[in-house]
Amino acid sequence: MAIEGPFWRAIAVYRVASLVYAAVLMAQQRGYQEPVAGWLVIGVMALWTAGTTYAYAIPGLRRGPLLALDLLVTMGCLLATPYVQGSLQGAAGTMPVPATWVAGPVLAWAVHAGRRAGAVAAAVVAAGDLWLVRAPDEPVVVNGAVLLFLAGVVVGHVAQLARQAEERMQRAIEMEAAQRERDRLARDIHDSVLQVLALVQRRGRQIGGEAAELGRLAGEQEAALRELIAVRPAPSGTTDLRSLLLRHASPEVTVSTPATPLLLPAEAAGELAAAVKAALDNVRAHCGPQARAWVLAESGEGTVTVSIRDDGPGIPEGRLDEARADGRLGVAESILGRVAELGGQVSIVSVPGQGTEVEITLPT
Amino acid sequence: MVRVMVVDDHPMWRDGVARDLAEAGYEVVATVGEGRQAVRAAAAVRPDVVVLDLRLPDMAGAEVAARLAEVEPPPRVLVLSASAEQDDVLEAVKAGASGYLVKSASREEFLDAVRRTAEGDAVFTPGLAGLVLGEYRRLAAQDVQADGPRLTERETEVLRLVAKGLSYKQIADRLVLSHRTVQNHVQNTLGKLQLHNRVELVRYAIERGLDAD
C-alpha cells in the first residue's frame, strides 16, 4: 500500500530524534556508571536505527521476522540499563538508557498490523520498562506504560483507517476508469457496429428470402447489443426497472418507458421483471413466435405500472372466468402469485380483435 | 414534390436512406454528416422534412433539432435514431422534432413516417408515447405550483393506448372517437410539451440575463 510509506518514514524520523535524545541524556550523565557499555548501547541503537530506516522502506522486508527482531533489539537495549546505570538506576527523573527510543517497535507493529498488534508490542515494552523501575517501597509509576499503549493503539487505528481509505479510493478510481472505458466502448459500438447491424436488418428485409433471415438475426443482435451498452447504474439495493424490461426489446416486442429511472427495491424489480417475462412467454405460446407485443412501464403516484399487450385474437368473453373457475389459468396464475406477494394488483383485459392486455400495478 | 434532407454521420446508412426516399418519389435535396453543416444546409436548401440522426460528431442531436426549428421556414424534423439514449430522444422532441423512429424500423414504416411528417402529423411510436407520458408525470411530480403543462384525462388515455401499440384506428374504435380526434389529442400532447420547453428556455434566458447585470 502506498499509504504506508509516509508512516514508515515518520517512524524513522521518530527513531532518529529519540536516538539523539538518548545520546544527549547519556552525555549529560557522563555515561552513567559504565560509560563504555553505555556508549556501546547507544552505538547499537544508532546501527539499528539506520538498519530499520533502510529495511522498513522496502515493502518486501516488512514482515514478522523483522518486526520480531526489532522488538528483541529494543528490549535488549532497554534491559542493558541496570548494568549501564548501576546504582543511578531508578533515581528520580532518570530514564532507561534508550529513553523514548523504545516506542519505535510499538509504532512499527501498530502501523504494520493495526491497533491490537500495537497494544501487544506496547505491553511487552511496558513490562520491561516497569520491571526496570520497580522499587520495593515506592508506588509504581505507570506514565510511560500508558503513553506506550496510547501510541500503539492510536497509531494502529489511524494506520488502519488510512489503509481502508486508500482501498476505497483505489476502488473508486478503478470503477471510474471502468465506466470511462465502458462509455468509450458504447460510443464506438454505437457509431459502427449498431449502424451496420441496423443497415443489414433493413436491407435484408428489403431483399427478402435468405437475406431477410440474416436481417432478422442482425436485428436481434442489434437489440441485444444496444441493451448491453446502455447499462444504467442505480443506487445500491434498488434496480432501475427499465434496464430489466428493455432486455426483452426485439423486433417483435416494443418496450416503452419514461426517460427517467423507475427505481424499485432490487427484489421487487426482479419479481416484476419475471412476471413480465412470464406474460411475454405466454404471448409467444398462445399467439406464435411472430406475434407482436408491447410493454409499457410508467410511474404513477406511489405506484409503478407495467402493461403487456399482444395483438393476438384475444380471449373470447367468458373464457377467462371459465378458466379461472376450472383453475386452468396456468401462466396467469403464476403472474398473479408473484404480484400478490409484492402487494400489487393484476388486471387482465381482452378486447376481441385488439389482443389481450395484462396490467400489473405495484406500490413503490 | 416533398423535399427531404438526410442528416446522419454514417455514409452507408445515409446513402441507403436517400435511395429509399428517392425510389419512393421524394426529392432528396441534401445529405450531410454533421450538425452545424445540417443547420447551414437547411437554411440554404429549405427542405420540408429533415431526417435526423441524434448521434452526430459535432453537436448534440437535441441542439440540432432546436437550431433547425429556428430556420425560416422551419422544416419538420423526424428523428431516426439507433440510439437507446431515451433522454436524447425526449430532448430532441421537446426541442421541436415532430416524430421519432428507431433505425431498425422497416422501410415501409420509415416511408410512412416521412409521409406523415411531411403532412404535418406527429409520428408517435409507442416508444415516444412512453417517453412523453413519463415526462408529463415527471413535470407533475416536480411542479408544486402546477403551472407546468398537464394532460387531460382523455389525452392520457389516448397516449397510454398509443404506448401500448394500438393504432389510431384501434384507439378511435375503442374510445368511440374519430380518427382525426385521436390524432389531434396526440398532437396536442406534443405541442404543449414543446411550448412549455420554449417558455422554460425564455425564462432561463431572462434569469441569466438579469443575473448578468
Which residues partner with B100 through β-bridges?
A: B79
A304 vs B contacts (CB less than 8 Å): none
Kindly state the cell numbers that stand for B46.
429549405
Q: Which of A300, A230, A294, A224 is nearest to B88 (CA)?
A: A230
Q: Which of B157, B165, B20, B102 is nearest to A226 (CA)?
A: B102
Write down the mean pLDDT value for chain A: 83
**Chain centroid, CA A198 distance in Å:** 39
CATH of A235-363, one of 3.40.50.2300, 3.90.950.10, 3.30.70.260, 3.30.565.10: 3.30.565.10
**Per-residue b/e over A92-112, b at no fewer than 16 CB within 10 Å?**
eebbbbbbbbbbbbbbbbbbb
Q: What is the pLDDT of residue A17?
A: 94
Which of A190, A203, A251 is nearest residue B55 as measured by Cβ atoms? A190
Interface-testing mutation among A183, A188, A192, A195, with chain B (most B C-beta atoms within 10 A): A195
The Cβ of residue B207 has, within 10 Å, a number of other Cβ atoms equal to 10
DSSP strand pairing (B27-32 vs B49-52): unpaired
Q: Compare all CA atoms of chain A with the CA of B124 and give the residue at the minimum distance.
A: A256
Which pLDDT tens digit goes with each residue over A84-114? 887 766 665 677 888 889 889 999 999 998 8
Contact criterion met (CB < 8 Å) for B134 and A223: no
Residue A83 near residue A95 (C-beta atoms within 8 A): no
Residue B186 near residue B122 (C-beta atoms within 8 A): yes
Kindly state the cell numbers that stand for A240.
432501475
Q: What is the mean pLDDT of residues A256-283?
A: 88
Which residues are CB-neighbours of B94 under 8 A, at least 6 positions away? B62, B135, B193, B194, B197
Which pLDDT tens digit goes with each residue over A195-239? 788 888 888 888 888 888 888 888 888 877 877 776 666 667 788
Please report the sign of the dihedral spanned by the C-alpha atoms of residue B7, residue B13, residue B15, residue B20. Answer: negative
CA distances from A112 to A67, A122, B107 (A): 9, 14, 69
Q: Does B83 touch chain A (CB under 8 A)?
A: yes
Which residues partner with B101 through β-bridges?
A: B80
Peptide bond into B73 cis (omega under 30): yes
pLDDT band (50, 70, 90) for residue A136: low
Which of A219, A297, A299 is nearest residue B104 as measured by Cβ atoms? A219
Q: What is the percentage of chain A residues whose pLDDT exceeds 70? A: 89
Interface-testing mutation among B159, B164, B166, B176, with chain A (most A C-beta atoms within 10 A): B164
Which residues are CB-neighbours of A123 under 8 A, at least 6 positions away? A149
Residue A280 near residue A312 (C-beta atoms within 8 A): no
Helices B61-70 and B35-45, axial angle in degrees (round to 10): 20
Which of B13, B164, B173 is nearest residue A296 as measured by Cβ atoms? B164
Closest CA–CA distance from residue A358 to any residue of chain B (Å): 11
Kindly state the cell numbers that stand for A37.
557499555
- pLDDT of B22 > 90? The answer is yes
Residue A349 near residue A330 (C-beta atoms within 8 A): no
- pLDDT of A162 > 70? The answer is yes
Q: What is the pLDDT of residue A266?
A: 87
Domain locations in chain A as residue ranges: 4-170, 235-363
Residues shown for chain B = 213
Q: Which of B21, B19, B23 is nearest to B3 (CA)?
A: B21
Write down the mean pLDDT value for chain B: 86
Kindly state the cell numbers that stand for A355.
389482443
pLDDT band (50, 70, 90) for residue A331: low
Domains belonging to chain B, first-starting first, are 3-123 (3.40.50.2300), 128-212 (1.10.10.10)
Which of B126, B129, B166 is nearest residue A354 as measured by Cβ atoms? B166
Q: What is the pLDDT of residue A281?
A: 86
- Terminal Cα-to-Cα distance of chain A (whole angstroms): 44
> What's the ipTM?
0.84
Q: What is the mean pLDDT of residues A126-133?
A: 82
Closest CA–CA distance from residue B73 to any residue of chain A (Å): 30
Which pLDDT tens digit goes with each residue over B133-180? 998 888 888 766 667 788 889 999 999 999 999 988 989 998 999 999
Which pLDDT tens digit goes with each residue over A232-254? 666 677 888 888 888 888 778 88
Q: Where are the beta strands (DSSP E) in B104-149?
A: none
A364 vs B contacts (CB less than 8 Å): none
Residue A90 near residue A133 (C-beta atoms within 8 A): yes
Alpha helices in A230-330 (DSSP H): 241-245, 266-287, 319-326
Q: What is the mean pLDDT of residues B97-112?
A: 85
Q: What is the pLDDT of residue A233?
A: 63
Which of A206, A254, A298 is nearest residue B165 as measured by Cβ atoms? A254
Q: Compare all CA atoms of chain B with the CA of A351 and give the residue at the minimum distance.
A: B174
**For the purposes of burial, counting CB atoms within 10 Å of the CB of A206, is it exposed (0-12), middle (13-18) or buried (19 or more)?**
middle
Which pLDDT tens digit goes with each residue over B181-204? 998 998 889 888 888 888 887 877
**Chain centroid, CA B148 distance in Å:** 20
- pLDDT of A323 > 70? The answer is no
pLDDT band (50, 70, 90) for residue B56: confident
